[in-house]
Structure formats: C-alpha cells, structure tokens
Structure 1
C-alpha cells in the first residue's frame, strides 16, 4: 500500500468488544457471553467508537488513506464516519449484521490483511489487544505500529489511546512524526475476573506511537495501599450518608470497602445501589445491577454516584463501570455534579498519576466536557482534596 505522501491508516474493529459492560457481565470474551449480553439488551458500541476515531483522524489529516476490512470489522465504522475508505481482502465475510459473530481468528486475519499500512488502529479491549499482538508476532518485521481505540469493558493494557477522539489525534500526528515506543499488553482471565479475582499478567508488548500522555498506560493495582487508608475512606463515605438518599457504588476495592463499612454484601466488580437509613447505616437495594436496572433505581430519586479511580490511568468513568451510562449520569447529576458525584482515591493513587488529571470517558463527549473542571476526592477519614477532572476526548496532552 503506497501512501502518496499522506500516510495510510488501517482499521480493525472487534464489533462485540464491550458488549458485556452495560449489562454487568464484566467482559465480552466468548460466544456464550456475547449471546447473554445481547439477550440482556446490550447494544454494540465498538463500531461507533471506531467511527469517532476515524472521523477525528480524517478531519485533522484529510489526505490520509483509510484502509479497512468488510462489514462490522471496519467498513461499517468508516461509513458511519462518512469518510472515504478502501477495502483490503481479508477473508472476513460481511454478513450484513452490525454485530458480526467474529472470532479471534478473524481479528488476526484482518491484521494480516492490513500489514502494509503505516499505522493500524484497532477498536476493542484487552482481549482484542491480545489477538492483535498474536497477529503482529506472526507478521514479524512486516508488522506496522498499532494503536488501540478503547472500546472494551476492560482496558488495562498500555497500548490504548485515552479515548476514541484521542486515537484520531494521535494517528494524525503520527503520520507527520512517525516515532514509536513499546507499550504493554495485559492478559486477564475473564472467568476469574467475574469471580472477583483480578490477576492480570503481562502478555507482551506492541509498538505504538510515541506520546505517553495520550495513552492510557497500564493499570496499576491497589494492593499496595495501606488497608487503614482504604478503610478510612470508607468510614468517611459512611459518615457523609444522607438519610433517604440512594448511593450508587461503582466497582473496585475502595468502593467494596464502603460496603464492608456499612455491613452490606456488595460486589467487588459490579455496580451496587444502597439507601441510607434515617437512624444511620444503609440497606442494600440491589447488587450487581445492569445499566437498565440502575436507571430505574435512580430515576426520580435523590442519588449520589460513588466511584473510585483506576490506578495508573486516572479514569473515573468509562473503564469497567459502563453501567453508569450517560443517561444515568444525566438523571443523577442534572446540570452539574455538585455533591452528587463522589470520587474515592488514596493519596498514593493520586500521587501515582504524576500530576495528570482524572479522566471521564462515558461515551458522551458533551457530558464528559460538562463534568470537566474540579472534583472533590475523598482520600481518607476526614481527608479530601480538590483534583482536576478532564474529558478524555480533549486534546490536552500537547
């Protein structure tokens, strides 16, 4: 593939990536999980996020050539973005469906078909990154640099851009300055993950565009945080409960500590809803809810959303808590977050960000921009700090 001086970008989409997020399945790997997600009313979003990325790319660099494969694995996203594209033969069939039942083998075949591009964009999560890495290993020296468009439930690997729009910015800039670095791909056993056992392992690395500030970075765990610090955060949240109000507890070890402090059987990786009692304490309203269930539980009720920060990345919204959707946020927050969004993080976790902001990637860029500014972060018992939060789609990385 010759670039004609403007550069060639390849695009591969895993159309079922992220399918299980909003319905509380904590992943999308495997045909059974994908069928279950669709049965629960999940809507595919990976194609839409890929379209955001390529629309941003072509707006910034109109002369770039976009090459992709048929159907839901790329062509549908290019059409949705209303940008010119070319098709490469890959052996992947277009079945006319927006959620093709694609496999890891299809992803590898698509990557192989696009080996001659200057940069390969792929939309998915950590499982897709693993499949891309397998294909890159087979290509050897012919493999192009790659960049992930975050579209999965879990995005713990360091090869992803901060958001779809950021992926487009980075891809456009890479064509002018083709510098690359190595970024880690993390492998996570989804079955163990669903049982609350988070045990990521390093699967390998991929060559990605240079510019660390525009990449998610690898997730850092919370295991090194002093238990007393986490328990102190939980005590502070419990002390702030307003009788009659409902509290949405997002996934994570810190929010799970809040459940323990209240004596409730909340989930580690799910989204739970509790209601504060007039005499102190709280009752569990529902555990491990889907997006639809959550919306019904908060509609017309005084509600506070309690979320923790992903260590090393800074994400508050859009990574593992897709049940807290734009419509849920709109219902709860109204015209502004005020005291209806509570963020939890240890001082150690904030220090690990090195001054980088917290990030929101809810799937609605306008909503993320509305949330941008400063938010109070509870860091311990009777301790809090004010910290910046940005829309992940903003081109702040410089």
Structure 2
C-alpha cells in the first residue's frame, strides 16, 4: 500500500562517520576530515542516506522531500527517485555546521512537518540548535559513536519508523542529545554531557537508546576481572585477538600486562601488542594469513557489538575472522540493561548474516544467550 504524507525535510552531513574506519573516533572539524581523507577514509554518509531512502521507497511511502541540493541530500533523493525540491544549498564546497542549521530552518520554512537527518552526535546538536519547537525528527545513524537517543537502530530502521509514524502507530517523544568532547575522546578520555532534547519518533526496537558510560564499582571491576581470567585461560599462543573498545575488554589486556586503549581497538597476541589503537587497514594487515578472533562487548543500554564506536572492525575485518571467531563479553550489570544484541555494520547483507543467537560470557563460569538483531 502506498502511504502519502506531508513534506519530509532531508539533511545529509556528507562527512559524518568518515573518521570511523581509520580510527579517528569522530569526524567533527575540517582538520579531522582532512586527516581522515589522507589516511584513505571513504565517505559513508551518502551510502547510509541511500539505504534509508531505498527502504522508504520499498515501504511505499510517497512524499515530497525538501532539502539542500548536492551532497547534502539532493543527490541521493534524486538518485533513488523521490520527488525532491531544493530549498537551498551549502555556502561552499566543504559543508559546515552552519549549513546544517540553515538547512533545518529552510526545510521547516518550506513546510516540512518531519525532519530526517543523516549524521552523528554532532549533527544532532546542530539540528537541535536550529529546529522549530514541535517538529519531530529522526536521525539516520552515520556517525562514529552516537551516544544520543535520537537515532534509529539502522538506516532501514529510520525508514520503518517514518512509515509507522505516518500510519499513526508510533508517536514522538523528547529524547536526549549528548555532547562528546572528541578531542578528549581521541586522547582516550571520555567527556560527555547532556546537550538538550529533540522531539524524536519513538519505538523500543527501531530507535536506539542513549549510551551510558560504565559506572566503575567494586562489583563491576571484580566481574570484569573474572571475565578476563576466563578469556585468558582460553587464549592460545598462535592466535591473534582484536580487542574492541571499552572497560571490559581493557580488563583482559590489563591482566595480561599489556597496554590497551580504552576507547580504541587494539590487536594483540597473548604475550604482546601487535597494533595499539589500530585502524581498519592495520587490523587487516595484522590478521592476514593468521587465525584471529574478535573480542567485543556490547554498548551499554544499546546492545551494539558492531557499528557504534568500533567501525575499525569493518565488514572486511568481520568477514576475514568469520562469525565463529566473534567472542561477546559483558558484565552482569551491562547485560541487565539489554534485551538483545544489535549490529549495524553499514552492509545490510552482512548484518543479516550476523543475526541470530550468541553466547555472552558474563562471569568466570557463567554465560547467557542473547539474540542479535539488525
């Protein structure tokens, strides 16, 4: 059935997420974007935008899309075949936060009753700064960290949220937007604060929760050590281990006496570090021709094992290791915040292959089985 609707404001931050695979832990600022490109990074926002639009079209949603011409959304909307009306364009070839804010205001002025934006936490803050009160939004995830609670679970999830909203089956509620200090983040320090609230399309499955940092209690630390001890006993001398970000994986390196970045991805053997704070290319080089495993802990409250803050573990890396080489660990405190695991690798076909059930190690002698969804 075709669904007809009001205008949809559509805004793409073309450089969102560009720093992920090259290990830059964010994409805010022209200097970081330039550095990412010099490291061989490829833009990801356009593909995420098209994934969203193609799903919207598959669902039979017929609407006029308004936004800015070119790489801020017009190119993707026309390519997919939507009726697109340009209400402006970026002031210069390299888009800025100011362009996003102007685009939001111009979309609303043109009659858009709903805004979909492609980006990360920084883009969400720009939207919040510019949006008119009462206009709902939905974030199409394309950033690196995405701590805020305004993003759909995947680009396809964003399309389904809009479909359900237009059918009257989901409502909008105020959701948190967080500010993460990227400079500190790149120095392995987490500085996060509440920036404000956006009226967001809401659904417990299709909308991701906000990510919360781990509270380091005595029980949590002991639980992490017990998990680390279990993993170390199972490690072999001839395997390579890709340790994802987080305090639970860091506990493994700590017990081995090896340095480990808290917010990065590291490649180790049982007795040494191969690459510290590795990017995608370095991981692929390190595991070439070797037997490797990925050790990952889901994001607290969100449940993502891939696609949030660890894009260095790319689809190519995951395929090279294989599903059987993925080890999921989580403390009891973290597992209590989750209903399921999630994946959002940027490749829908791989996401589907990763769906299913995983054994999650939660203590030295304890595991739980959780379903993973895309």
- TM-score band by shorter chain is over 0.9
User: Deviation at 1:382?
Assistant: 2.5
Partner residue, 1:168: 159
User: Deviation at 1:63?
Assistant: 2.0
1:296-346 CA-to-partner distances (Å, cap 9, x unmatched) read 11122100001111001001000011011111111110xxx22x1001111
Counterpart pick for 2:102 among 105, 109, 112? 109
User: Deviation at 1:224?
Assistant: 4.4
Check the 8 A contact 1:19/1:45 in 2, yes or no. yes
Check the 8 A contact 2:74/2:86 in 1, yes or no. no
Structure 1 window deviating more from structure 2 (84-93 vs 178-187): it is: 84-93
1:241-295 CA-to-partner distances (Å, cap 9, x unmatched) read 022000000111111111101100111111111113xxxxx21111111111111
Counterpart pick for 1:361 among 344, 362, 368? 344
- List runs of 5+ in structure 1 lacking aligned partners: 277-281, 392-398
The residue correspondences of 1:92-103 to structure 2 (distance < 5 A) are 92-93=90-91, 100-103=93-96
Partner residue, 1:352: 337
Check the 8 A contact 1:58/1:64 in 2, yes or no. no
User: Deviation at 1:180?
Assistant: 1.2
Check the 8 A contact 2:61/2:163 in 1, yes or no. no
2:294 counterpart of 1:305: yes
Paired residues, number? 367
Partner residue, 1:229: 223
Partner residue, 2:23: 24
C-alpha distance in 2 between matches for 1:101 and 1:212: 36
Counterpart pick for 2:357 among 374, 388, 394? 374
Counterpart pick for 1:388 among 344, 368, 371? 371
2:201 counterpart of 1:209: yes
Counterpart pick for 2:113 among 113, 118, 122? 118
Check the 8 A contact 2:4/2:61 in 1, yes or no. no
C-alpha distance in 1 between matches for 2:19 and 2:282: 14
Counterpart pick for 1:134 among 81, 104, 129? 129
Check the 8 A contact 1:14/1:123 in 2, yes or no. yes
3-state SS of paired residue (2:11): strand
Check the 8 A contact 1:221/1:311 in 2, yes or no. yes
3-state SS of paired residue (1:270): coil
Partner residue, 1:144: 135
2:56 counterpart of 1:57: yes
Counterpart pick for 1:196 among 188, 192, 196? 188
Check the 8 A contact 2:13/2:118 in 1, yes or no. yes
Structure 1 window deviating more from structure 2 (62-71 vs 150-159): it is: 62-71
2:146 counterpart of 1:155: yes
C-alpha distance in 1 between matches for 2:162 and 2:174: 16
Counterpart pick for 1:342 among 327, 338, 350? 327
Counterpart pick for 2:279 among 286, 290, 298? 290
User: Deviation at 1:91?
Assistant: 4.3
Alignment TM-score, normalising by the size of structure 2: 0.94
Partner residue, 1:395: none
Counterpart pick for 2:174 among 163, 170, 182? 182
C-alpha distance in 2 between matches for 1:326 and 1:91: 33
Check the 8 A contact 1:68/1:85 in 2, yes or no. no
User: Deviation at 1:153?
Assistant: 0.6
- List runs of 5+ in structure 2 lacking aligned partners: none
3-state SS of paired residue (1:238): helix
Check the 8 A contact 2:63/2:82 in 1, yes or no. no
Check the 8 A contact 2:247/2:262 in 1, yes or no. yes
Partner residue, 1:83: 81
C-alpha distance in 1 between matches for 2:189 and 2:239: 31
C-alpha distance in 1 between matches for 2:62 and 2:193: 40
Partner residue, 1:271: 265
C-alpha distance in 1 between matches for 2:346 and 2:153: 12
Counterpart pick for 1:262 among 248, 252, 256? 256
Check the 8 A contact 2:14/2:43 in 1, yes or no. yes
